[in-house]
Amino acid sequence: MQNAIVTDLNRCVGCLGCSVACKSANGVPVGNFWNKVLRIGPTPKFDGAVCPDVEMYFLPMGCQHCVDPECIKVCPTQASHKLADGSVQIDKSKCIGCQFCVMACPYGVRYLNDEEKVVEKCTLCEQKTAQGQLPQCVEQCGGRARYFGDLEAGIENLEGPGEPASFGSDTSYETMVMTRVKLGDYAKPFTDADVYHLPDVGNKPSFAFILRNRKWQGGE
């Protein structure tokens, strides 16, 4: 099993809702992020192009919950570890704040909590997903760009929150978070060539990004 998030970058509008929802749900300290959104571009569509012949997209960045994480390999206390669901977690009772994992992470998404003196990062909202819920950043994505689930079941089966039109007369928040759509049914068509990952240095990042008809720059 390998739980992960797949983001349809053609649907992401850069509203930062996922980042705000994450900080609120997990009490992330001011100045730190478990999920941040990068603006990629504007990039000329062709050599010599100027506005308006440019393109851009937004790239959510956080722990990639790698299949073979570098952070776990360097942890001297086994505080960093993988769960059966494939997520990478930190046992704060074992963390000594050495920050070896911070230095080993290829994506720079770990940080030292200065007050608690332990390393923190995205937990993939394990406290929610263990109860069958969606991660907060997926649940609160207004553009329906983010989907969560087990990659071994196929990327098309990952799920996101349902559309309001499907709720009927019950438009409560509780109904919204329990109504789901599958990526394969909801997202516009894409091919394997449209699916990207952040650079792999042997760690095998599990998160994926769908980007159609634009130049992928996440490897730079």
- CA proximity to 107, closest of 70, 147, 80: 70
Using alpha carbons only, what angle is made at residue 199 by residues 132 and 27, rounded to the nearest 5 degrees?
40
- Residue 174 inside a domain? The answer is yes
What is the tens place of the pLDDT at every residue in 60-91? 999 999 999 999 999 999 999 999 999 999 99
In the structure encoding, which two tokens stand for residue 200, read together? 């792999």
Q: Please, which pLDDT band fits residue 159 given cuts at 50, 70 and 90?
A: very high
- Contacts of residue 155, defined as CB under 8 A and 6 or more positions apart, other chains included, come to 6, 183, 184, 195, 208
- Residue 47 inside a domain? The answer is yes
Mean pLDDT on 170-179: 71
pTM equals 0.91
**Domain, as residue range, for 32:** 3-68+123-210
Residue 162 has pLDDT above 90, yes or no: no
- pLDDT computed for residue 201 by the predictor: 92
- How many whole angstroms separate alpha carbon 138 and alpha carbon 181? 12
What is the tens place of the pLDDT at every residue in 110-155? 999 999 999 999 999 999 999 999 999 999 998 899 999 999 999 9
Identify the weakest region by mean pLDDT among 16-30, 127-141, 177-191: 177-191
- Residue 96 inside a domain? The answer is no
- How many whole angstroms separate alpha carbon 60 and alpha carbon 40? 10
- Residue 89 inside a domain? The answer is no
Please give the tally of structural domains in the chain: 1
Alpha helices in 36-158 (DSSP H): 70-74, 100-104, 126-129, 136-139
Q: Please, which pLDDT band fits residue 179 given cuts at 50, 70 and 90?
A: confident
- Residue 46 inside a domain? The answer is yes
Residue 48 has pLDDT above 90, yes or no: no
- Residue 78 inside a domain? The answer is no
* CATH code, 183: 3.30.70.20
Residue 73 has phi, psi (to 5 degrees) of -65, -30
- Residue 99 inside a domain? The answer is no
- How many whole angstroms separate alpha carbon 158 and alpha carbon 163? 15
- pLDDT computed for residue 165 by the predictor: 60
Query: What's the helix, strand, coil split of the chain in %, to 5?
Result: 25, 25, 55
Mean pLDDT on 19-31: 93
- Residue 111 inside a domain? The answer is no
- CA proximity to 101, closest of 65, 74, 122, 121: 74
- How many whole angstroms separate alpha carbon 42 and alpha carbon 52? 10
Q: Please, which pLDDT band fits residue 218 given cuts at 50, 70 and 90?
A: confident
